[in-house]
Chain A
């Protein structure tokens, strides 16, 4: 039994300490995710003759967080059932509050859901590979109610799109127009995670401006529950394979289970994805998952210019190569005007210097 277990912070920049955590997690078949920004450990402080004074006591429990997501939990087998998880989670909550984060998620194996529920976490969704729970000063239902009030989303059926718009192109505009022609109301969720070359505020402003002529379109920030680092980390770290599949499924199911039922969304539109394998896999998953919740997915052929479809990544590569003459055929007026402002030029400069896929 461990009384008053001491929680200690790990310096992730120190290779020895990091390796130590990684090898401890390795015993449980876990890895220390790349995006982790804070790690705690509990060490076995009982005096033992096996360890000399200079050597540190072995780790018996650990947990980490990446922004507002708690992850990489492991507790030594012989210490389970002693309230270690409560100590670790409390330490992480203290840390989160000191960073001004008052709502957080935990990703875990579906068989561990019980442990976190007992610590006050609320279940959001799970599939075979992963479960998502949340805790803090609000939950997904309150978040949806808040959106409803703020954007005056009333009764009636509607369609939805989720877009990053990095930057807003004629292709995006065309897709929104298509949806707006076919439905009484269209909700466009703009990915809020600020991991793209064009910042969220800019993307939101450009789309709002560029869809002004469509009175039945509402532009809404996507929040933490749609393609965010919490619900879909693989999208931002461009992961492929099994984990991508599990996360994509989770994201799609949350959209169907919560957003579509709460806002009466009958159809979600996506553009055909010719380039990015991650987005392509995501579209495929949407196609499978959304019908389970009674939502139709319509994949629209991208509007082409020349032989190639218009896409934001095509725009970015043109900007990178400095071939700005062609942009007039790919971008709406508002984006062209933005690129000419000082902030716009700054971003173009950044694009030239990086090879970020976003």
Chain B
């Protein structure tokens, strides 16, 4: 799956996450995460996002995630939507 344009999904409301994705060279997956619960869940959130990226077979992407305390299912859904919008 190839990312061809910039897209986003989500909001900055509490319990949500805002995901912005943009194209990157093949093989490069870049993730920039900010979260209000970075210390407690930073690693878990990263894994959820990267797992989704892998699952969808994305080749190269730069992801910027601004988390406001979203649940894992929300995070996965927002990433999936953003990626689908960016094809």
Q: How many Å from the CB of B79 to the closest CB on chain A?
A: 15
**Count of A residues near B, CB < 8 Å?**
13
Chain A, Cβ-Cβ closest to B11: A90
Q: How many Å from the CB of B16 to the closest CB on chain A?
A: 9
Name the interface residues of B1-55: CB closer than 8 Å to any CB of A. 6-8, 11-14, 18, 20, 22, 34, 36
**Count of B residues near A, CB < 8 Å?**
16
* Interface check A97, CB cutoff 8 A: yes
* Interface check B62, CB cutoff 8 A: yes
Contact with B along A130-141 (1 / 0, CB 8 A): 000000110000
Chain A, Cβ-Cβ closest to B13: A86
* Of B11, B13, B34, B64, the contact of A137 (CB 8 Å cutoff): B64
A118 to B8 CA separation, bound complex (whole angstroms): 19
Name the interface residues of A87-139: CB closer than 8 Å to any CB of B. 87, 89-90, 93, 97, 102, 118-120, 136-137
* Of B11, B13, B20, the contact of A136 (CB 8 Å cutoff): B20
Once the chains bind, are B13 and A120 in contact (CB under 8 Å)? no
Q: How many Å from the CB of A40 to the closest CB on chain B?
A: 14
* Of A87, A93, A102, A120, the contact of B22 (CB 8 Å cutoff): A102
Known interface pairs A86-B14, A89-B12. Does A137 touch B20 (Cβ–Cβ under 8 Å)? yes
* Interface check A83, CB cutoff 8 A: yes
Once the chains bind, are B12 and A102 in contact (CB under 8 Å)? no
Once the chains bind, are A120 and B62 in contact (CB under 8 Å)? no
Q: A86 to chain B: which residues have CB within 8 Å?
A: 11-14, 68
Q: B62 to chain A: which residues have CB within 8 Å?
A: 137
Q: A118 to chain B: which residues have CB within 8 Å?
A: 36
Name the interface residues of B39-87: CB closer than 8 Å to any CB of A. 62, 64, 66, 68
Once the chains bind, are B6 and A90 in contact (CB under 8 Å)? no
* Of B13, B36, B64, B66, the contact of A83 (CB 8 Å cutoff): B13
Name the interface residues of A74-94: CB closer than 8 Å to any CB of B. 83, 86-87, 89-90, 93
Q: How many Å from the CB of B68 to the closest CB on chain A?
A: 7
Q: B13 to chain A: which residues have CB within 8 Å?
A: 83, 86-87, 90
A136 to B64 CA separation, bound complex (whole angstroms): 8
Q: A102 to chain B: which residues have CB within 8 Å?
A: 6, 20, 22
Chain A, Cβ-Cβ closest to B14: A83
Known interface pairs A90-B12, A90-B13, A90-B18. Does A120 touch B6 (Cβ–Cβ under 8 Å)? no
Sample (13) of A-B pairs whose CB atoms are under 8 Å apart: A83-B13, A86-B11, A87-B13, A89-B12, A90-B18, A102-B20, A118-B36, A119-B12, A120-B12, A120-B18, A120-B34, A136-B64, A137-B22
> Given A90-B13, A93-B18, 6 more contacts at CB 8 Å?
A83-B13, A89-B12, A97-B6, A120-B66, A136-B20, A137-B62
